[in-house]
Amino acid sequence: MKVVIEILESGTYRDQAWEGTFLSTKGELRAVTPSYAAQLIGQEKAALYLDSNGEMKFA
């Protein structure tokens, strides 16, 4: 299961150690693991994406 986040800071990211890196720009939506989402949100590099009903989105 992955959650959708909105990237707040452009840069290169890596969700899982065995996966390659990915480049994201500010405002881009990305599906990442919940633990990586929590890490990025804690660092203020991302925000949890909520739909128009205020609900989390999963991928």
The full set of domain ranges for the chain reads: 3-48
Tell whether the model's pLDDT for residue 59 goes beyond 90.
Answer: no
Res 41: pLDDT: 97
Q: In this structure, which amino acid lies at residue 26?
A: K
Residue with tokens 């959708």: 4
**Residue 3: beta bridge partners?**
32, 58
Alpha carbon distance 57, 51 (integer Å): 7
Pairing verdict, β 3-7 and 29-32: antiparallel
Average predicted confidence (pLDDT) for the chain: 95
pLDDT at position 4 is 97
